[in-house]
Amino acid sequence: MLPAAGRVVAISGAGRGLGAAIARRLHAEGFCLACGVRDPSRRLSLPDGPRVTWHRYDAAQPDSAGSWIAEAVAAHGRLDALVNNAGILKRFTLEEGDEAALDEMWAVNVKGPLRAIRAAMPHLRAAGHGRLVNVASTDGKRIRDPSAPLGYAMTKHALMALTHAARFAGHADGVRATALCPGAIDTELIAGLPGATPAAGRMQPETIAEVVCLLLRLPDQAHVAELIVNTRLESTL
């Protein structure tokens, strides 16, 4: 397993929900963190010190990813991993919903990660054992039923394609990319979502944070292109 000590991880959406759980778990493991959040003044209760820096990152803003990654490298001297966690879910189905909601999800869920990967890839290659984790969803693998959030699923399907492109782009230089596809996680993202797994059956953010930590520590010989962690029994997932 790759060591955590001295390795720097950039995490988007680290201020709350799943991103916060990932940040706490990776910090406990010994990683250095460059946390990308829309409001850097709203920080987690992580111990102060040089291992954690906070940077403004808004996935909907075209220049934000480049600034975040540049600041992260300037602060820590290197970048070993990128976790694209930031995402939004807006109501948009085949028959209902304004296209503005779809455009907003496309900007945050697809173009945001694309920009972050473009900015981070040279540094991940230079690290020798670079790691990329894109937090997708089981909705990126199938359309469950008519209640499924179609617009969100469309963007997560696109994120799957982006992950596979990154796998090929960085593989020769030791970069390993994974599309992590969790089912329902008990966060604000799916509060009130029609058809979502009932609260009692949802995963806790800390469960997926543990999976992220594992993916960042696996050796180069362990290629995990996609990892599905479902809450439901489905015939193919």
Predicted confidence (pLDDT) per residue in 135-156, tens digit: 999 999 999 888 889 999 999 9
Q: Is the pLDDT of residue 47 over 80?
A: no
Kind plus residue range of the DSSP H or E element containing 214: helix 205-217
* Share of the chain residues as helix, strand and coil, in percent rounded to the nearest 5: 45, 15, 40
Confidence of residue 104 (pLDDT cuts 50, 70, 90): very high
154, 104 in Cβ contact below 8 A? no
Residue 17 C-alpha from the chain's centroid: 12
| Cα–Cα distance for residue pair 226/181, rounded to 1 Å | 7
With H, G, I as helix, E, B as strand and everything else as coil, classify residue 237. Answer: coil
* Four-residue CA torsion sign, 21, 23, 28, 29: positive
Structure tokens at 77: 């001297």
Rg of the chain, C-alpha, whole Å: 17
Q: Can you give the pLDDT at residue 192?
A: 79
List domains and CATH numbers for the chain: 8-229 (3.40.50.720)
How many CA atoms lie within 13 Å of 149's alpha carbon, on the beta-carbon side? 24
- Mean pLDDT for 33-44 is 89
pLDDT score of 45 more than 80 = no
Residues 1-12: pLDDT tens digits?
A: 999 999 999 999
Taking the whole predicted model, whether its pTM rises above 0.85 is answered as yes
pLDDT level of residue 166 (50, 70, 90 thresholds): very high
Least confident span in 140-144, 173-177, 192-196 = 192-196
Question: CA–CA separation, 64 vs 111, rounded Å?
Answer: 11
Active site (catalytic) residues: 152
Q: What is the pLDDT of residue 232?
A: 93
Tell me: pLDDT of 42 over 80.
Answer: no
Terminal CA-to-CA distance of the chain, rounded, Å? 27
Q: How many Å is the maximal CA-CA distance in the chain?
A: 50
d(CA 28, CA 157): 32
Contact 27, 52 (CB under 8 A): yes
* Alpha-carbon span 139 to 95, nearest angstrom: 18
**H helix runs in 6-149, sequence order:** 17-29, 64-76, 99-106, 112-127
Structural contact between residues 218 and 176, judged by C-beta atoms closer than 8 angstroms = yes
Distance CA 15, CA 6 (A): 22
Written as six digits, the tokens of 182 are 């969790």
